[in-house]
Amino acid sequence: MKTRMLGNSGLDVSALGLGCMGMSWSYGAPGDPQEMAALLHAAVERGVTFFDTAEVYGPHANEELLGAALAPFKGKVVIATKFGWAPAPGDGAGWNALNSRPEHIRTVIEGSLRRLKVDAIDLYYQHRVDPQVPIEEVAGAVKDLVAAGKVKHFGLSEANAETIRRAHAVHPVAALQSEYSLWWREPEAEILPLLEELGIGFVPFSPLGKGFLTGKIDASTTFGADDFRSTVPRFAADHRDANLALVDVVTRFAAQKGVTPGQIALAWLLAKKPWIVPIPGTTKLHRLEENIGGASVELTAQDVAELEAVSSRVKVEGARYPAFHEKLVGR
């Protein structure tokens, strides 16, 4: 697989990464650890060098999975993880409290280093902006960890333009990770121009719209209570029929190119900017191979313009997050 540089950071990764959250958390029951380890090995064998996890996925289980499975490839792969969540004290609701205080960051990185079996975190993202902690303090804490040799690159997730600029002034931000796809194009307004100005890479998560853009979800699809999508308004029955019109557009375009809808969705992202590296997630080998195939689909500028023109006519219905999580993004 071809590689890409995340902005001006010097961080060279495969053109497509692998989002690993669903292997342990959020999309139904966790995968079998041995099967997931085999999938991670298969990804490396097929040229994937960029793997995404977080302390909160599991929690901890996903970092442990990657640490064990990717240990044989130390120095050959890039692992990104995230900090910024903490157990909510006493309310029984689990990990739903933000904490990006510098002392917390200095503590939790030790657990991530141990679970990932590495000496330094390749890319360390603030998972969500913490309104209780000035971003300058967060960036300063990570800067200290870089100086200590425990972090190589600093990243942000779902931050707004002002926050990105303020953080970057303290310590270079190598990459922003936020949702971006044909189903959610909001980053094009302010975020992409800013990233280009500052030389910051962009790592779109949910580049396939949490599976929606693959064409495998229809009006009859149901989601279990342990599947995050059961809480997402865009997947609700009263919105899904309208949103399937977008899938129809992508499916027709894919048929013209002789590829799958998911491959078109990924190829579109790769065609947007050379410093964009999507991280589709999967727990299935055949889907991994399909996604990797998307990196070989070449779209011309005319293709991109045509796809955007037609897809823009579809009015997407429903919020992309439940109300609680909507408050945590774009800050």
For residue 247, is it within any domain?
A: no
- Exposed e or buried b per residue across 155-164, where buried means at least 16 C-beta atoms within 10 angstroms of its C-beta: bbbbbbbebb
Q: What distance in Å separates the CA atoms of residue 302 and residue 170, rounded to the nearest whole number?
A: 40
Per-residue pLDDT at 272 exceeds 90: yes
Three-class SS of residue 173?
A: strand
How many domains does the chain divide into? Answer: 1
Per-residue pLDDT at 316 exceeds 70: yes
pLDDT in tens, 62-116: 999 999 999 999 999 999 999 999 877 655 556 778 999 999 999 999 999 999 9
DSSP 83-132: E-EEPPTTSS--S-EE---HHHHHHHHHHHHHHHT-SSBSEEEESS--TT
For residue 237, is it within any domain?
A: no
Percentage, residues of the chain above pLDDT 70: 98
Position 325 scores a pLDDT of 87
- Taking the whole predicted model, whether its pTM rises above 0.95 is answered as yes
- The average confidence (pLDDT) of the chain is 96
For residue 253, is it within any domain?
A: no
Work out the pLDDT band at 320, boundaries 50, 70, 90.
Answer: very high
For residue 167, is it within any domain?
A: yes
146 CB neighbour count, 10 Å cutoff = 18
- Exposed e or buried b per residue across 6-38, where buried means at least 16 C-beta atoms within 10 angstroms of its C-beta: bbebebebbbbbbbbbbbbbbbbebbeeeebbe
Contact 135, 167 (CB under 8 A): yes
- As a whole number, mean pLDDT of residues 9-29 equals 96
Residue 27 among the catalytic residues:
no
Position 300 scores a pLDDT of 97
User: What CATH number does the domain containing 182 carry?
Assistant: 3.20.20.100
Query: Residue for token digits 């996903």?
Result: 62
Work out the burial of residue 242: count CB atoms within 10 Å of its CB; fewer than 13 is exposed, 13-18 middle, 19 or more buried: middle
For residue 222, is it within any domain?
A: no
Three-class SS of residue 76?
A: coil
Per-residue pLDDT at 276 exceeds 70: yes
- As a whole number, mean pLDDT of residues 266-278 equals 98
Query: Which tokens belong to 225?
Result: 């209570």
For residue 244, is it within any domain?
A: no
Contact 73, 44 (CB under 8 A): yes
Alpha carbon separation from 151 to 3, 53, 79, 115, 279 (Å, rounded): 22, 15, 11, 15, 21
Which domain does 82 fall in, by range?
Answer: 3-211+273-296
Work out the pLDDT band at 227, boundaries 50, 70, 90.
Answer: very high
- As a whole number, mean pLDDT of residues 37-63 equals 97
221 CB neighbour count, 10 Å cutoff = 13
Position 96 scores a pLDDT of 77
From 27, 57, 124, 125, active-site residue: 57
Packing angle of the helix pair 191-198, 161-170 (nearest 10 deg): 20
For residue 320, is it within any domain?
A: no
Work out the pLDDT band at 164, boundaries 50, 70, 90.
Answer: very high
Q: What distance in Å separates the CA atoms of residue 304 and residue 250, rounded to the nearest whole number?
A: 12
pLDDT in tens, 54-74: 999 999 999 999 999 999 999
* Dihedral sign, Cα of residue 219, residue 290, residue 180, residue 87: positive
* Eight-state DSSP code of residue 275: T
Q: What distance in Å separates the CA atoms of residue 246 and residue 242, rounded to the nearest whole number?
A: 8
Q: What distance in Å separates the CA atoms of residue 87 and residue 118, rounded to the nearest whole number?
A: 24
Give which of 17, 34, 35 is closest to 283, Cα–Cα. 35
For residue 219, is it within any domain?
A: no
